[in-house]
């Protein structure tokens, strides 16, 4: 497993370089190019001695900022009969963890998997595997151990005592990537909220520095309730973190109100909403660019898109709809992130149709489908009609693609990079959009060309005839537009 993982990581780095070059050649938007340059400029600098395990002591609380350079991965294959506990599933998960680590700016040295009935309650892995892990860390000069699961504060502390380097879990790694990629004010607030909620039960200090009690003026001017016998420094910092969490929740709620107003305006214009959802790095942003020419950032990296992008597109018949690119999902997506990004994910729950994008070249695309559908159900979007889009057909195994065709009836196979299958996708999407149930016949004066244009944009024109007094329309339109056409009903057809 270790040799195969190392070879796979090396080949993946080479392939990623080629893809980055291709993206830079294909990118047509100046904004997208600048975003990509900024993103690459923010990548972690590896190989600088003395930085790999640096911890900054702010208010005497250990802030676990990730400066990942050389890392060793460790995972546990739970011994059970279902498919999720199979060795193949554990290996796929560890390969994905390696890609996450590389996205965060680190270099993967080794990867280990231990098969056991359940993770060890003390150190996540057994005592023997923990000792072996410590030897590998020492021999490779690794700075960090990343566990393919969420560790309790006790597990993290005890495992660090054994391996003698920093230990982080999958959740902390994903949060770190989100912190690197967040660009908007809302995205940054959502990521900070998730990080603080993750950090709160894991706050710890330096020796006895946080066990001191402080009262009176020494309490840092905390005001009423902080003077007297005093509280430990750790308790003070926990209180400050809770206060910051409460403030962030209020800010995100206010921003969510603005997002709801924008959605309300789009609904008021009777334009159907389509959301692009799927596994991270499945090609959602590339598909948005291919369908709309949006020019949003495209990068061969996990969680390249955090802030939703809304663009307008048209069906082959000319009917308009909005297309929203959303954050990708991943195995074991931290629940803190799901809660923090709930206002953003509401774009998916409120959509009329979901384009569920799956990477046809992935080793286990069916697992991707299951993970995404699980998250969609969690955010209340499980009942939204979906159209499965198998992407990356130009590099996918034809046998795998054919298996997906048989499993997901009605799916569309495309390549967002080459444009293959995109016209067929628009054709398949059109009948899934909400149908208009108001059939009207009206003679619209030539002076109301704006109304005729809206009928063509928002409705379905059955017939149109130019006569002396205007344009005789026969169309199916939304209720709001039917009301605007009512004064022109009853005229010459």
Q: What is the pLDDT of residues 119-174, one digit of tens each?
A: 888 889 988 999 999 999 999 989 899 998 888 888 988 999 999 998 998 888 88
- How are the residues of the chain apportioned to helix, strand and coil, as percentages rounded to the nearest 5? 45, 20, 35
Higher pLDDT, 327 or 251: 251
Please, which residues have CB within 8 angstroms of residue 343's CB and are 6 or more apart in sequence? 186, 190, 252, 253, 255, 256, 259
Q: Cα–Cα distance between 326 and 362 in angstroms, integer?
A: 20
Strand partners, 147: 74, 169
Q: Cα–Cα distance between 113 and 193 in angstroms, integer?
A: 32
pLDDT at 478 exceeding the cut of 80: no
Q: Cα–Cα distance between 394 and 416 in angstroms, integer?
A: 9
Angle at 79 between CA 77 and CA 80, to 5 degrees: 120
Q: Cα–Cα distance between 67 and 165 in angstroms, integer?
A: 12
Q: Cα–Cα distance between 352 and 323 in angstroms, integer?
A: 11
Q: What is the mean pLDDT of residues 234-247?
A: 86
- Give the lowest-confidence range in 12-26, 104-118, 335-349: 12-26
Higher pLDDT, 53 or 35: 35
Q: Cα–Cα distance between 163 and 177 in angstroms, integer?
A: 24
393, 361 contact by CB (below 8 A): no
pLDDT at 267 exceeding the cut of 80: no
Q: Cα–Cα distance between 293 and 196 in angstroms, integer?
A: 37
Closest CA to 96 of 288, 342, 362: 362
**pLDDT score, position 56:** 41
pLDDT at 100 exceeding the cut of 80: yes
pLDDT at 115 exceeding the cut of 70: yes
Whole-model pTM? 0.66
**pLDDT score, position 217:** 46
- pLDDT digits over 282-304, tens only? 888 888 888 887 555 555 445 55
Q: First vs last Cα of the chain: how many Å apart?
A: 75
Strand partners, 313: 321
**DSSP string of 235-272, one letter each residue:** HHHHHHHHHHHHHHHHHHHHHHHHHHHHHHHHHHTT--
**pLDDT score, position 344:** 65
**pLDDT score, position 435:** 72
Please, which residues have CB within 8 angstroms of residue 400's CB and are 6 or more apart in sequence? 360, 361, 365
Q: Where are the alpha helices (DSSP H) in 27-126?
A: 30-41, 87-103
336, 241 contact by CB (below 8 A): no
pLDDT at 104 exceeding the cut of 90: no
């Amino acid at each position: 497993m270790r040799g195969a993982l190392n070879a796979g990581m090396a080949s993946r780095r080479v392939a990623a370089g080629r893809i980055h070059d291709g993206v830079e050649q294909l990118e047509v938007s100046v904004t997208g190019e600048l975003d990509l340059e900024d993103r690459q400029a923010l990548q972690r600098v590896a190989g600088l001695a003395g930085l790999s395990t640096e911890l900054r002591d702010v208010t005497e609380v250990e802030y676990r900022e990730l400066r990942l350079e050389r890392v060793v991965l460790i995972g546990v294959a739970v011994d059970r009969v279902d498919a999720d506990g199979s060795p193949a599933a554990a290996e796929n998960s560890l390969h994905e963890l390696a890609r996450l680590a590389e996205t965060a700016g680190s270099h993967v040295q080794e990867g280990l998997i231990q098969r056991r009935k359940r993770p060890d309650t003390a150190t996540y892995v057994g005592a023997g595997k923990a000792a072996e892990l410590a030897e590998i860390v020492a021999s490779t000069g690794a700075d960090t151990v990343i566990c393919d699961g969420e560790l309790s504060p006790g597990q993290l502390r005890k495992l660090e005592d054994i391996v003698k380097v920093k230990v982080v879990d999958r959740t902390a790694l994903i949060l770190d990537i989100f912190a690197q990629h967040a660009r908007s004010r809302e995205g940054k607030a959502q990521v900070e909220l998730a990080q603080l909620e993750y950090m709160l039960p894991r706050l710890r200090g330096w020796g006895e520095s946080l066990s001191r009690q402080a009262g009176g003026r020494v309490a840092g001017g905390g005001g009423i309730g902080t003077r007297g016998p005093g509280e430990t420094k750790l308790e003070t910092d926990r209180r400050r973190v809770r206060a910051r969490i409460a403030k962030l929740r209020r800010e995100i709620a206010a921003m969510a109100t603005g997002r709801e107003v924008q959605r309300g305006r789009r609904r008021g214009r009777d334009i159907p909403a389509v959301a692009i959802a799927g596994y991270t790095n499945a090609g959602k942003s590339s598909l948005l660019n291919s369908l709309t020419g949006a020019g949003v950032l495209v990068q061969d990296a996990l969680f390249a898109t955090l802030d939703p992008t809304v663009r307008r597109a048209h069906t082959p018949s000319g009917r308009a709809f909005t297309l929203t690119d959303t954050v990708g999902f991943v195995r074991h997506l931290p629940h803190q992130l799901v809660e923090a990004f709930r206002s953003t994910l509401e774009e998916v729950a409120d959509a009329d149709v979901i384009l569920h994008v799956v990477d046809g070249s992935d080793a286990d695309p069916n697992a991707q489908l299951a993970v995404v559908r699980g998250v969609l159900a969690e955010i209340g979007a499980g009942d939204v009609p979906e159209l499965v889009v198998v992407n990356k057909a130009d590099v996918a195994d034809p046998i795998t693609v054919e298996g997906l065709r048989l499993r997901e009836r009605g799916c569309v196979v495309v390549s967002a990079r080459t444009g293959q299958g995109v016209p067929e996708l628009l054709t398949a999407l059109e009948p899934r959009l909400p149908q208009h149930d108001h059939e009207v016949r009206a003679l619209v004066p030539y002076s109301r060309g704006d109304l005729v244009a809206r009928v063509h944009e928002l409705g379905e024109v059955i017939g149109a005839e130019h006569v002396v007094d205007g344009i005789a329309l026969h169309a199916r339109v939304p209720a709001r537009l039917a009301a605007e056409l009512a004064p022109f009903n009853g005229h010459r057809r």
